[in-house]
């Protein structure tokens, strides 16, 4: 059986361009389950810092009282050391879903990210990435998405512009939402489709979020849940870029799209296994 890899991209405008109109009628914000059940690999980015990184990843862990812990990691181009950081973030809920409040429009950091060393036995999120940190990540005073200088302690905001899966189901296939596809008889098989997320990133000076205090014009990233072993197809990436160019606005956002670059992603190297 030939399994589909076609992706249907339905994208909304970033928050600062909401005056352009509401999200498309078919737009559906992802659930917290969708976002937290994956280790996301940052595959395309406009952020200058990503040119120095390989294997950047991000995971979300729901907190009992609400919100999430955001854990990020990366390696420098010529170093096996894994730099990691963790911060708390509140959920920006969707307001236009059929069930308002259940989808995620985005995340907003509520604490500046702090670097941490590995215990040597754990991993990042559910992906089991072993960490050996030789240097701390100077994350809390990092440059903004457009390479702006540090503005003290920065808080990052991620807006989810699109999400979905690369591949379409046949009429008899049932997605259980937990990584399995079943049929009417109850037989199950792993979901072969790759998940993706398109994210708009803004950095704010601490305490400035409510006043529009972004330190620069933002950045765009495309994440997927498979990494180097199976990248998103060129066709899917092309569709995402076309949809982003169609957002309109003041031209700055469209210019950002042309800066999207492939981020280096390696298959695991033998000497970096733990």
- For β-strands 180-182 and 174-175, DSSP reports them as antiparallel
Mean pLDDT of 239-254: 84
pLDDT tens sequence across 10-61: 898 888 766 556 677 778 889 898 899 889 999 999 999 999 999 999 999 9
* 233 within domain boundaries: yes
The phi and psi torsions of 58 (rounded to 5 degrees) equal: -145, 140
* 44 within domain boundaries: yes
Q: Percentage of residues in the chain with pLDDT exceeding 90? A: 32
Could you write out the DSSP letters of every residue in 6-68? Answer: ------PPPGGGGGG-SPPTT--PPBHHHHHSS-EEEEEE--GGGGGEEEEEEEEEE-TTSSE
pLDDT grade, residue 4 (50/70/90)? low
End-to-end C-alpha distance for the chain, whole angstroms: 38
* 8 within domain boundaries: no
pLDDT grade, residue 251 (50/70/90)? confident
* 140 within domain boundaries: yes
Q: Is 33 exposed, middle or buried (0-12, 13-18, 19+ CB in 10 A)?
A: exposed
CATH of residue 83: 2.40.128.20
* 16 within domain boundaries: no
| DSSP category for residue 97 | S
pLDDT tens sequence across 137-171: 333 334 455 554 444 467 899 999 999 888 766 66
Place of tokens 């990052």: 156
CB atoms under 10 Å from CB of 150, counted, come to 15
Question: What is the pLDDT at residue 177?
Answer: 65
pLDDT tens sequence across 183-195: 777 777 776 778 8
Question: CA-to-CA distance for 123 and 173, rounded, in angstroms?
Answer: 33
* 15 within domain boundaries: no
Question: What is the pLDDT at residue 40?
Answer: 95
Higher pLDDT, 272 or 222: 222
Give how many domains the chain has, as a whole number. 1
* 13 within domain boundaries: no
* 42 within domain boundaries: yes
The phi and psi torsions of 170 (rounded to 5 degrees) equal: -75, 165
pLDDT tens sequence across 52-101: 999 999 999 999 988 999 999 999 988 888 999 999 999 998 876 555 66
Question: What is the pLDDT at residue 95?
Answer: 74
Q: Is the model's pLDDT at 273 over the cut of 60? A: no
Q: Is the model's pLDDT at 272 over the cut of 70? A: no
Strand partners, 175: 181
Mean pLDDT of 97-126: 63
Residue 223, classed as helix, strand or coil, is strand
Question: CA-to-CA distance for 260 and 167, rounded, in angstroms?
Answer: 23
198 sits in which H/E element = strand 194-205
- State which residues form the domain around 168: 29-266
Question: CA-to-CA distance for 270 and 274, rounded, in angstroms?
Answer: 9
């Amino acid at each position: 059986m030939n399994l589909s890899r076609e992706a249907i991209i339905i994208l909304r405008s970033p928050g600062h361009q909401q005056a352009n109109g509401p999200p498309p009628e078919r737009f559906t914000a992802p659930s917290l389950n969708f976002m937290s059940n994956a280790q996301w690999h940052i595959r395309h980015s406009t952020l200058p810092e990503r040119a120095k990184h390989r294997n950047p990843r991000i995971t979300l862990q729901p907190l009992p009282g609400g919100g999430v812990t955001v854990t990020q990691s990366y390696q420098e181009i010529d170093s096996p050391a894994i730099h990691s950081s963790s911060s708390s973030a509140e959920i920006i809920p969707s307001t236009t879903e059929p069930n308002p409040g259940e989808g995620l429009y985005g995340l907003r950091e509520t604490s500046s990210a702090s670097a941490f060393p590995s215990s040597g036995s754990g991993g990042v999120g559910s992906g089991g990435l072993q960490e050996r940190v030789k240097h701390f990540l100077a994350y809390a005073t990092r440059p903004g998405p457009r390479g702006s200088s540090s503005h003290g302690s920065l808080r990052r905001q991620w807006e989810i512009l699109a999400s979905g899966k690369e591949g379409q189901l046949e009429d008899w296939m049932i997605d259980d939402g937990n990584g399995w596809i079943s049929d009417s008889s109850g037989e199950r098989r792993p979901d072969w489709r790759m998940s993706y997320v398109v994210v708009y990133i803004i950095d704010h000076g601490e305490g400035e979020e409510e006043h529009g205090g972004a330190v620069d014009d933002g950045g765009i990233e495309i994440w997927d849940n498979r990494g180097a072993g199976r990248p998103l197809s060129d066709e899917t990436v092309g569709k995402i870029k076309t949809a982003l160019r169609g957002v309109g606005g003041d031209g700055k956002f469209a210019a950002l799209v042309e800066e999207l670059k492939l981020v280096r992603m390696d298959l695991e190297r033998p000497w970096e296994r733990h």
